[in-house]
């Protein structure tokens, strides 16, 4: 933690910056015929179900270490999948495709599970850091355990921790500072939060729409081919443009069910723009105004009007669909009651079942279909994404920074232009806001990296509640979006810009680090007011 804070404090100093960064390029096919689309849709769905099977099978605690070596898992699966040499395996029979496809599904599942455990470890570290009931030595012990999956797994399974000799000595030194009761409490806490937040096996996953290809793909002019579910035969489609990237390594093939086409995604290295600036800025993120900078400039004004228009539209649309959704649920309940009977259906029951199935079919085709809805919502998302990109690019072009300090935890709720407040609108607003937060943060990081700008997360606690000039607590918030505030000494100011200035100062603050608990942050700020 100390090393990372030192890097943040010295971030304005000229450093060696990588000349390239990863970038995903996409090539699209022409619209597929109905026959091609139906065949590929069925194939991708089977591949997705197979990948979901492996995800559920190996997402547990007992497989934490096994997923690190997917080749060993593949060999284990081959033993129980095909006990007789030369015979067709169980997975090939169930999912009706070739061996290489379930191997690819297993490889993808293992990669996903590894990412899940890594993301969970980062989440648990924040929880541990913010838990005031843990001592500093207990936190140190838990952070040490989370560095090693084998130690983490041993704690979860109530087994002794086994590590290489040099790490065992370090663990012994940490545990020597704690009593047996404190160690037991720390282990118990780690088990509780792991069980609470780790991925659970699910009955069914999303409809499969993508797959990884390693060696089984080729481009010839505008024609793209990849392995199909039939041996020695390939899917072949015409693309809108030829392939002009390296033909080695993995690609991801995505089936777009809305536009009825294929997309080929590949990760390449792209050049970064040079940056000779030494300027550091802080940015505050919001919904009424996307970006407020410590320089006093704001970008992405009136974003809430765009967001609320989308919320109102889809809130009403969801409300109109709800009666049909309820009717579908009732019809499915009646079907379940009929099918629960162990005896053969009578003629009356059979006629009733046929009638119910007919009603369900009509509902799916005419009232609650997803194709038009998904297409419209994707278009709305693209509008929001374009607005976000434009605001960030304007900010980078005008501010020309070398370092950007940003909040680690973004806005949770923003008061914007009043709109429809039905439960469907509230649900839609929550969904859109959640997506916007992730998209905004992701694009800031990517576009900053593209322009050789460093980004650093800082602790966001109370950044919008204290004056950046004198340190006094603000009296009140007012304005159409609660963007204005008043300080006892300094007078009226923009609360978002004040927050951006506080965020910039957190970059070099030695007392308030990224993981300082919010209550401790409040104590530090209060003590600074007294000292002033």
Among 10-19, 34-43, 90-99, 342-351, the range scoring the smallest mean pLDDT is 10-19
Strands 403-407, 280-285: parallel, antiparallel or unpaired by DSSP?
A: parallel
Q: Over the stretch 232-250, which tens digit does the pLDDT of each residue have?
A: 899 999 999 988 888 888 8
Q: Tokens 């029951």 belong to which residue? A: 349
DSSP code, position 239: B
In this prediction, residue 326 carries a pLDDT of 87
Residue 148, pLDDT > 90, answer: yes
Strands 291-293, 454-458: parallel, antiparallel or unpaired by DSSP?
A: unpaired
Q: Which domains does the chain have, with CATH numbers?
A: 2-15+274-308+375-531 (3.30.420), 131-197 (no CATH), 211-271 (no CATH)
Tell me the C-alpha distance between 384 and 392, whole Å. 12
In this prediction, residue 14 carries a pLDDT of 40
Residues 6+ apart with CB under 8 A from 391: 290, 291, 299, 300, 303
| Residues 380 and 258: beta-carbon distance below 8 Å | no
pLDDT-derived band at 70 (thresholds 50, 70, 90) equals: very high
What's the average model confidence in pLDDT over 358-380?
A: 82
Using a 10 angstrom Cβ sphere, with 0-12 exposed, 13-18 middle and 19 or more buried, the burial of residue 17 is middle
Confidence (pTM): 0.77
Q: What backbone phi and psi angles, to 5 degrees, belong to 266? A: -140, 140
CA dihedral 78, 80, 86, 90 (to 10 degrees): -100
Q: Over the stretch 384-398, which tens digit does the pLDDT of each residue have?
A: 899 999 999 999 999
Residue 419 or residue 23, greater confidence: 23
Q: Over the stretch 107-142, which tens digit does the pLDDT of each residue have?
A: 999 999 999 999 999 999 988 988 889 999 999 999
Tokens representing residue 417 in the block = 């232009």
In this prediction, residue 41 carries a pLDDT of 92
| Residues 374 and 330: beta-carbon distance below 8 Å | no
User: Which of 116, 96, 110 is closest to 47 using CA atoms?
Assistant: 96
What integer best gives the mean pLDDT of the chain? Answer: 86
Burial 457-489 (b: 16+ CB within 10 A, else e): bbbbbbbbbbbbeebbebeeeeeebbbbbebee
Q: Over the stretch 488-509, which tens digit does the pLDDT of each residue have?
A: 889 999 999 999 999 999 999 9
In this prediction, residue 13 carries a pLDDT of 36
Q: State which H helix or E strand residue 484 sits in.
A: strand 484-487
Tokens representing residue 11 in the block = 């971030």
Q: Over the stretch 401-417, which tens digit does the pLDDT of each residue have?
A: 999 999 875 433 444 43
Q: Over the stretch 212-231, which tens digit does the pLDDT of each residue have?
A: 887 688 898 899 999 998 88
pLDDT-derived band at 10 (thresholds 50, 70, 90) equals: very low
In this prediction, residue 337 carries a pLDDT of 83
């Amino acid at each position: 933690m100390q090393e990372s804070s030192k890097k943040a404090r010295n971030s304005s100093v000229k450093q060696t910056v990588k000349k390239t960064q990863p970038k995903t390029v996409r090539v699209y096919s022409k619209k597929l015929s109905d026959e091609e689309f139906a065949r590929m849709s069925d194939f991708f769905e089977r591949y997705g179900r197979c990948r979901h099977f492996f995800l559920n099978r190996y997402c547990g605690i007992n497989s934490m270490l096994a997923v690190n070596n997917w080749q060993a898992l593949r060999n284990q699966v081959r033993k129980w999948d095909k006990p007789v040499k030369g015979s067709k395996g169980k997975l090939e029979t169930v999912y009706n495709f070739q061996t290489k496809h379930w191997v690819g599904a297993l490889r993808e599942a293992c990669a996903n599970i590894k990412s899940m455990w890594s993301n969970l470890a980062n989440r648990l570290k924040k929880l541990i850091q913010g838990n005031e009931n843990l001592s500093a030595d207990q936190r140190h012990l838990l952070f040490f355990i989370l560095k090693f999956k084998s130690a983490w797994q041993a704690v979860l399974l109530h087994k002794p921790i086994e590590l290489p000799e040099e790490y065992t000595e370090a663990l012994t030194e940490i545990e020597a500072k704690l009593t047996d009761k404190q160690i037991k409490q720390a282990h118990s806490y780690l088990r509780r939060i792991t069980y609470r937040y780790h991925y659970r096996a699910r009955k069914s996953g999303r409809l499969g729409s993508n797959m990884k290809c390693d060696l089984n793909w080729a481009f010839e002019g505008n024609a793209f081919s990849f392995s199909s579910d039939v041996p020695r035969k390939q899917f072949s489609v015409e693309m809108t443009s030829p392939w002009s990237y390296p033909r080695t390594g993995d690609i991801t093939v995505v089936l777009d069910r809305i536009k009825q086409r294929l997309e080929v995604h590949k990760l390449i290295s792209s050049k970064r723009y040079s940056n000779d600036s030494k300027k550091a800025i802080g940015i505050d993120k919001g919904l009424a105004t996307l970006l407020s900078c410590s320089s006093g400039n704001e970008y992405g004004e009136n974003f809430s009007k765009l967001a609320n228009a989308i919320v109102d539209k889809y809130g009403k649309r969801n409300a109109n669909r709800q009666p049909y959704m309820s009717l579908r649920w009732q019809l499915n309940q009646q079907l379940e009651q009929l099918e629960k009977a162990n005896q053969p259906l009578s003629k009356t029951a059979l006629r009733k079942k046929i009638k119910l199935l007919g009603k369900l079919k009509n509902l799916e085709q005419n009232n609650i279909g997803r194709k038009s809805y998904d297409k419209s919502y994707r278009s709305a998302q693209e509008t929001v994404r374009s607005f976000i990109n434009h605001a960030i690019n304007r900010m980078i072009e005008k501010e020309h920074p070398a370092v950007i300090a940003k909040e680690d935890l973004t806005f949770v709720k923003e008061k914007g232009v009043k709109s429809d407040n039905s439960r469907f609108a509230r649900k839609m607003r929550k969904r859109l806001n959640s997506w916007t937060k992730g998209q905004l943060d992701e694009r800031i990081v990517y576009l900053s990296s593209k322009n050789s700008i460093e980004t650093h997360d800082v602790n966001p606690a109370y950044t919008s509640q204290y004056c950046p000039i004198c340190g006094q607590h603000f009296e009140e918030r007012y304005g159409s979006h609660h963007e204005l505030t008043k300080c006892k000494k300094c007078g009226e100011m923009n609360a978002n810009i004040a927050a951006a200035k506080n965020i910039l100062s957190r970059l070099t603050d030695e007392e308030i680090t990224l993981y300082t608990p919010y209550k401790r942050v409040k104590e530090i700020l209060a003590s600074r007011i007294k000292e002033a």
